[in-house]
Structure 1
């Protein structure tokens, strides 16, 4: 293995959410930094959020920790406690099982870049209190369900 430049890792636009949620995440581009190294217990993504975009739907993880670090730009962190401005060099962590749902918005006129790092727990579930969706792992694969337990296609 050799070190690689992050900008050489393929960028993906949007997030792999089913309709009707996908359009909310179209202004997010991300690179799965941990993928080329076949890491299984840690996920690291570098994400760029365009003006007017958001990182995800507001969510929390049952079994995986999350950590974010702002590389450039300005983002608004939205949690159950309110809205907080995050700028270059600021960071925040979210402990597994803490149901304080969060996401980030780009209300500025410039793109913002941040690093997102999280643990990969095989029993992790992701809850979205504001939206009719949750993610569960089945047979090692993530599957989106509505809150009544019906899978999205």
Structure 2
């Protein structure tokens, strides 16, 4: 299969974060284009972020590269260095293992749309510097920084 039918691509709303960390990304919609195309080495998502929406909690990955390309709208990229405006045609890259927490916020009055591309790693350890959250598949997923697991969120 070469052409992906966006209407049939798996779509995910919100995030898988435990409460209360899921709330700021609640309006995010992701069409999982890489999954729809059968890709296994890297993921590709088409993301729509509503006004006031967050892409994620600020984070960085130990073993996964990430890349974003803004297709429409305006986003504010927040990193350790501060804030940078991204507009249609702008892109950003986040190499694996670099402890530079990042995320994007839509502070505009219109939805923003971007592509995100990332490595798929079995060792998906992810750090969240601003909140008491850590992702470690060996510990069952999301946990506190001390290793205590969060309860699964219903709904």
Place the TM-score, normalised by the shorter chain, in its bin.
over 0.9
* Residue number in structure 2 paired with 1:25: 25
Structure 1 residues without counterparts, runs of 5 or longer? none
Q: TM-score, normalised by structure 1?
A: 0.93
Task: Measure, in 2, the Cα distance between the counterparts of 1:132 and 1:13.
Answer: 23
**Stretch deviating more after TM superposition (88-97 or 142-151):** 142-151
* Residue number in structure 2 paired with 1:108: 108
- Cα deviation for residue 97 of structure 1 reads 0.3
Structure 2 residues without counterparts, runs of 5 or longer? none
- Cα deviation for residue 146 of structure 1 reads 0.5
* Residue number in structure 2 paired with 1:128: 128
Q: Give the secondary-structure state (helix, strand or coil) at the position aligned to 1:35.
A: helix
Q: Give the secondary-structure state (helix, strand or coil) at the position aligned to 2:137.
A: strand
- Cα deviation for residue 21 of structure 1 reads 0.9
Task: Measure, in 2, the Cα distance between the counterparts of 1:121 and 1:108.
Answer: 33
- Cα deviation for residue 124 of structure 1 reads 2.6
Task: Measure, in 2, the Cα distance between the counterparts of 1:48 and 1:118.
Answer: 17
- Cα deviation for residue 2 of structure 1 reads 4.0
1:82 maps to 2:82:
yes
Q: Give the secondary-structure state (helix, strand or coil) at the position aligned to 2:24.
A: helix
